[in-house]
């Protein structure tokens, strides 16, 4: 029991330190990938240490509290927190669970992108719509290549779909924010 308490204390301290570091540095989506890898390692260690669901709930509460202090969590953090929530219901976190959760997060982001584009088009002239379509096409090509790069770093591994989905979601969320700013600016004119 002492080993478990020591392990959890170290885990909480490391998590808090990491979140403080992120807040200070404000790094991009690639740190979300590091967090995902660390959480998968933690999951393996927890299984090896026979950590209970109650202890996992305490960890979850600590992580959620720290994430709320930072503001809006990133897509990767949401996916991991949802997976931890599933595990606290006596369900083991698997790579397939993380992959599926991250894919659902990407689907939500892609839906948000379609909605902002639908709202934006009626505010644009025909020539602006054509420029937006060309820009969007170029952006999709960039997104696809960036996703392939990020996922390629884990080629052949079971984490590849997770990394692929988290990168896709992060890039799409950024594009949604960019287009939302354009939409807001057009409404103010």
The predicted structure's pLDDT at residue 143: 96
**Are residues 183 and 116 in contact, defined by beta-carbon separation less than 8 angstroms?**
yes
**3-state SS track over the chain:** CHHHHHHHHHHHHHHHHHHHHHHHHCCCCHHHHHHHHHHHHHHHHHHHHCCCHHHHHHHHHHHHHHHHHHCCCCHHHHHHHHHHHHHCCCCCCCHHHHHHHHHHHHHHHHHHHHHHHHHHHHHCCHHHHHHHHHHHHHHHHHHHHHHHHHHHCCCCCCCHHHHHHHHHHHHHHHHHHHHHHHHHHHHHC
Stretch 138-160: mean pLDDT: 92
Stretch 125-146: mean pLDDT: 96
The predicted structure's pLDDT at residue 121: 94
Strongest mean pLDDT among 25-34, 88-97, 152-161, 164-173: 164-173
Q: What are the boundaries of each domain within the chain?
A: 2-93, 96-188
Which has more pLDDT, 110 or 61? 110
Total-model pTM = 0.54
Cα 32 to Cα 37: distance, rounded to the nearest angstrom: 9
Instruction: Give residue 58's region: left, alpha or beta (phi > 0; psi -120 to 50).
Output: alpha
Under 8 Å CB-to-CB from 112, ≥6 apart: which residues?
A: 172, 173, 176
CATH code linked to domain 96-188 = 1.20.1270.180
Residue 87 has pLDDT above 60, yes or no: no
* Mean pLDDT for all residues in the chain: 76
Residue 125 has pLDDT above 60, yes or no: yes
The predicted structure's pLDDT at residue 94: 80
At residue 67 the predicted structure's pLDDT band, cuts being 50, 70 and 90, is very low
At residue 99 the predicted structure's pLDDT band, cuts being 50, 70 and 90, is confident
């Amino acid at each position: 029991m002492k080993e478990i308490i020591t392990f959890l204390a170290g885990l909480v301290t490391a998590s808090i330190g990491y979140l403080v570091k992120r807040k200070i540095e404000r790094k991009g989506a690639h740190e979300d990938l590091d967090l995902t890898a660390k959480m998968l390692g933690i999951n393996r260690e927890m299984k090896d240490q026979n950590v209970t669901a109650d202890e996992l709930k305490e960890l979850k509460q600590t992580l959620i509290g720290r994430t709320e202090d930072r503001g809006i969590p990133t897509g990767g953090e949401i996916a991991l927190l949802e997976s931890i929530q599933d595990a606290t219901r006596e369900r083991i976190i698997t790579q397939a669970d993380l992959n599926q959760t991250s894919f659902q997060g990407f689907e939500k982001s892609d839906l948000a992108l379609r909605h902002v584009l639908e709202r934006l088009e009626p505010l644009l002239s025909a020539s602006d719509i054509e420029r937006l379509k060309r820009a969007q096409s170029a952006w999709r090509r960039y997104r696809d290549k960036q996703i392939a790069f990020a996922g390629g770093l884990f080629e052949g591994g079971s984490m590849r779909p997770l990394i692929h989905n988290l990168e896709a979601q992060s890039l799409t969320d950024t594009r949604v924010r960019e287009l939302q700013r354009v939409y807001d600016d057009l409404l103010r004119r």
